[in-house]
């Protein structure tokens, strides 16, 4: 009886672990485009983006495991997500899909393109960095980042669910990310429906990671769109300089910085973002780049 129960438990666990580490909504027709939202965010992040491109692209919109009501997967979550996206591209025979990623989604897009450089086509990275720990202080070392990530895990792990929910509702981590109150409320709602363990795992793993050398392996033409509005002490010049430092090893990268948008650029300054994205997606590939 014990063996049967153990076998059943292992089968259930395997089924949960083997599932895709995201949910997908497919809309539109044309060339494939994968859109990846950020930490604790729903695929609804991309609703206006899909509305713009669904007549030219088949949009595969992800909501990542553990976020906005999607069941979580065991750690390491970012590795599972990256491998899951690669498997999804292969399984569905997507021919060099454009990948658009916001924040953590942008980090995943970079990680995927560095690990599997022949899979993606163009990359559009929305306010994401190869080395998150170096955003607030460019002098931060990878060793210091790992130490801070450990402290972050300890702090977040010590919170009760009630404490965590009160923190999310307070908006301390999201108030500066958007301009409109309605958008802020939407982010809070997604945060409350996200799994606290998944959020902790993803934050700690991303904060510990450093892709600044790995991005040299990327073959895809890459557009990076950054922001500085809403972040205390940040200036356009400082943010642009830091982006150029962090992306220095990605050959041919294009970097643009908005003067109007907070972190959710697609909501705060859609005309600016779509203008750059339209040009980037319509531009002919050159050399060995797609």
Which tens digits make up the pLDDT trace of 117-167? 999 999 999 999 999 999 989 999 999 999 999 999 998 888 888 888 888
- 247: nearest Cα among 136, 117, 121, 138: 138
Measure the N-to-C terminal CA separation of the chain; round to a whole number of Å: 57
Cα–Cα distance, 264 to 226 (Å, whole number): 10
Which two three-digit tokens encode residue 124? 């559009």
**Unique residue bearing structure tokens 């307070």:** 170
For residue 9, is pLDDT > 70? Answer: no
What's the predicted TM-score (pTM) here? Answer: 0.90
User: Looking at domain 20-282, which CATH architecture does it have?
Assistant: 3-Layer(aba) Sandwich (3.40)
Predicted local confidence at residue 274, as pLDDT: 97
Q: How does DSSP classify residue 94?
A: -
Please write the tens of the pLDDT for every residue from 204-260.
Answer: 999 999 999 999 999 999 999 999 998 888 999 999 999 999 999 999 999 999 999
Identify the three-state secondary structure at position 277.
Answer: helix
Which two three-digit tokens encode residue 189? 């709602």
Write phi, then psi, for 121 (nearest 5 degrees). -95, -115
Confidence of residue 170 (pLDDT cuts 50, 70, 90): confident
């Amino acid at each position: 009886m014990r063996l049967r129960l153990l076998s059943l438990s292992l089968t259930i666990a395997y089924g949960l672990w083997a599932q895709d580490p995201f949910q997908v909504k497919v809309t539109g027709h044309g060339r494939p485009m994968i859109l990846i939202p950020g930490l604790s965010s729903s695929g609804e992040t991309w609703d206006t983006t899909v509305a713009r491109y669904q007549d030219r692209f088949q949009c595969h919109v992800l909501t990542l495991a553990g976020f906005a009501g999607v069941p979580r997967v065991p750690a390491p979550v970012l590795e599972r997500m990256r491998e899951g996206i690669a498997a999804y591209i292969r399984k569905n025979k997507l021919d060099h899909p454009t990948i658009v990623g916001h924040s953590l989604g942008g980090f995943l897009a970079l990680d995927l393109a560095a690990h599997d450089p022949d899979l993606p086509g163009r990359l559009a990275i929305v306010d994401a960095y190869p080395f998150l720990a170096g955003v607030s202080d460019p002098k931060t070392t990878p060793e210091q980042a790992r130490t801070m990530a450990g402290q972050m895990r300890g702090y977040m792990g010590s919170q009760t669910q009630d404490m965590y929910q009160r923190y999310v509702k307070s908006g301390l981590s999201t108030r500066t990310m958007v301009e409109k109150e309605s958008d802020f409320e939407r982010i809070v709602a997604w945060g409350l429906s996200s799994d606290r363990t998944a959020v902790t795992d993803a934050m700690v793993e991303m904060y510990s990671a450093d892709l600044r050398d790995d991005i040299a392996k990327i073959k895809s033409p890459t557009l990076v769109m950054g922001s500085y509005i809403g972040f205390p002490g940040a200036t356009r010049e400082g943010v642009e300089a830091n982006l150029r430092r962090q992306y220095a090893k990605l050959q041919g990268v294009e970097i643009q910085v908005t003067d109007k948008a907070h972190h959710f650029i697609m909501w705060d300054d859609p005309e600016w973002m779509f203008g750059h994205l339209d040009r980037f997606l319509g531009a002919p590939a050159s050399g060995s780049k797609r």
